């Protein structure tokens, strides 16, 4: 298939268009008639384009951010994944749970921001803390 992917679908009242979205990754296995490409819309929604050369049509499937990240982990280089989803922790890096008490009004505001960026609230808060820690000079 050529490098230009052209497919537009309306799913659940929302348009997914490869011509206006950003191509994040592409996968074409050697001995298979399947082609897949991951896209991100201008508003941050992810979708998977797929094409079977044995079928007359092509398709689009919307993806949650976690599914898009998993797809990239299987088919893309680490640099591409981290460019899209931020730096990943090194294997073996332990995680810690903290409880943060904030006013409900603030939680609602940041939840809307995270949703607008197609991120979970936890992922958005984590990225904010990482950026703040990077901006802080070492003591």
DSSP 19-30: TTSEEEEEE--T
Least confident span in 5-9, 67-71, 73-77: 5-9
* 105-126 pLDDT tens trace: 999 999 999 888 878 888 889 8
Return the higher-pLDDT residue of 55 and 91.
91
Count of Cβ atoms closer than 10 Å to residue 17 Cβ: 16
Q: Is the pLDDT of residue 1 over 50?
A: no
Output the six-digit token pair for 5: 């992917």
How many Å apart are CA 29 and CA 83, to the nearest integer? 24
Strand runs (DSSP E) across the chain, as ranges? 8-11, 14-17, 22-27, 34-40, 46-52, 58-63
* 28-57 pLDDT tens trace: 887 777 789 999 999 989 999 998 776 666
* Res. 2 pLDDT band, cuts 50 70 90: very low
Strands 58-63 and 46-52: antiparallel
Q: Is the pLDDT of residue 18 over 90?
A: yes
**Res 137: pLDDT:** 77
> What is the number of H-type helices and E-type strands within the chain?
4, 6
Instruction: Evaluate if pTM is beyond 0.75.
Output: no
């Amino acid at each position: 298939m050529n490098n230009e992917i052209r497919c537009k679908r309306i799913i659940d009242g929302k348009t997914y268009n490869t011509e206006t979205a950003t191509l994040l990754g592409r996968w074409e296995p050697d001995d298979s008639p399947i082609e897949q490409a991951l896209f991100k819309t201008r508003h941050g929604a992810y979708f998977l384009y797929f094409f079977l050369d044995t079928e007359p049509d092509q398709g689009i499937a919307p993806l949650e951010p976690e599914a898009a990240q998993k797809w990239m982990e299987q088919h893309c280089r680490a640099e591409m994944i981290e460019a899209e989803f931020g730096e990943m922790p090194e294997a073996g890096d332990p995680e810690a749970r903290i409880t943060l008490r904030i006013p409900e009004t603030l939680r609602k505001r940041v939840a809307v921001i995270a949703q607008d960026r197609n991120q979970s609230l936890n992922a958005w808060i984590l990225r904010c803390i990482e950026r703040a820690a990077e901006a802080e000079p070492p003591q």
